[in-house]
Amino acid sequence: MGVARLKESGRIYEDAFVSPNLDSKWEVLPNDATRYEAGSGSLVLKHGQDPLYMFYKPLTDMKQFVMDVKNSYNPDTEGCYGGVIVFVDEHNYMEIEEFLDMSLPQPLLKTYPWIRLIRDYNYYTAYWSDDGVIWNIIGSVELVGTPKIGLYLKGEGDHPMHIQYIRINKGTSIAVDNLTKGTVVYLIDQNGVVLESRVCRSEETVVHFNMDPYPYPFEGNFGIRLPDGNRFQAMDSIKVYKGDLMYFEVTPDLYYKESNPETGEDFDVLLYPNTDRFLGYLTAGGSVTQEVRMFAKNPMISGDFKNVIFALTSGTDKVQIAPDVEGIPGSFSFSITAFTILPGASYPFWLRMEREESQDRYASQVKFSLQMYSTYI
């Protein structure tokens, strides 16, 4: 995971409509299955006697988000409209319209390949784009109330609206937090090319990168230069989504070995910070203990980790930890120390879990935390 770990995901929803089943979070009014269909890379909205609305229900309670909609709608009949809608009530709503304008000497088809809606609490701003990269503002309104937000189609024409893709994120930027004044953060692509940099200014702990110019999701990583000149750069690429909040931390990556039940081959499983992981059953009548091989990897291009301490939290004596000695566990205790982990290298160690005597499978669950402390040089 390198120098920045994901603290909060910015990804809310994404769909290219390859499945014929519509996500259950959509509310369709009227609930008429003949008015829409999904699958084959498109959500098709069809005209009818009544307007068709498709509201994505989670957006009602989200005070800040960005919704991008790639669509194709080419009406040839006056009085037909399609697009994106924010609906509070009959007197308070906002429509980003696509339609045929017959009021001009030459009829004009107003349609946008991409539509963007940004909500910032009670303010809603509309944009359009030809490519989903460069955005042009249409306008902004203030709407107070509890909104329904999504897609709409009005009129009785014979030209369906095709939605090829929707993505909803918490913002258009990514943030890197936990910085000090004068720290420089570099945005680096998967080929190791530095694309741009940001400096953490006074009274701030965070920098932001606008991700609109880059592919979605962005694949790459970050480089960090501290005010004292020390530099940090990850070895591997990660996927970053618009709205992600990243946290600057320089720690080893933790993995454990798991076996494929079909092939018997071992594979590595990455453990994410502050998340739970089920490590298996110890059934009555079987082995009293289970041992899991772990390892900590230095994901950096340069710089050693010194005096890395792995410590089990108090609360249970059913789990212990041991260093690896030529492929087998050494002496078990409640903490161990890796004195040096070189760039790209791994430090192996072992966890041992002991079975509870209780016959109640819920009471016999053992939960524990593994804490890690290190110095980076």
Domain coordinates of the chain in residue numbers? 11-169, 172-248, 253-376
Say yes or no: domain 11-169 is CATH 3.90.1210.10: no
pLDDT of 281 reads: 63
Check residue 376 and give its pLDDT: 63
Q: How many C-beta atoms lie closer than 10 Å to residue 71's C-beta? A: 23
Question: pTM for the whole thing?
Answer: 0.76
Q: What is the pLDDT along the chain (377 residues), one digit of tens a residue?
A: 568 888 999 999 999 999 999 999 999 999 999 999 999 899 999 999 999 999 999 999 999 999 999 999 999 889 999 999 999 999 999 999 999 988 877 778 899 999 999 999 999 999 999 999 999 999 999 999 999 999 999 999 899 999 999 999 999 999 999 999 999 999 999 999 999 999 999 888 999 999 999 999 999 999 998 888 878 887 778 999 999 999 987 778 889 888 777 787 888 888 876 677 777 666 665 667 888 899 999 887 777 888 899 999 866 678 999 999 999 999 999 999 999 999 889 999 999 988 766 555 555 567 788 888 776 66
Task: Answer for the pair 310, 372: CB distance below 8 angstroms, yes or no.
Answer: yes
**Cβ-count burial 333-353 (b if 16+ within 10 Å, e if not):** eeebebeebeeeebbbbbbeb
> 15 in helix, strand or coil?
strand
- Residue 62 phi/psi, 5-degree rounding, is -90, 115
Per-residue b or e along 305-314, where b marks 16 or more CB atoms closer than 10 Å to that residue's CB: beebebbbee
Give which of 162, 51, 166 is closest to 117, Cα–Cα: 166
Which DSSP helix (H) or strand (E) runs through 331? Answer: none
∠ CA 317-321-327 to the nearest 5 degrees? Answer: 145
- Residue range 253-376, CATH number: 2.60.40
CATH number of 172-248: 2.60.40.3580
Q: Please provide the size of the chain in residues.
A: 377
Q: Cα(279)–Cα(247) distance, rounded to whole angstroms?
A: 27
pLDDT for res 360: 55
Q: Do domains 172-248 and 253-376 have the same CATH topology?
A: yes
| Rg of the chain on CA atoms, in Å | 27
How many other C-beta atoms can be found within 10 angstroms of the C-beta atom of residue 83?
24
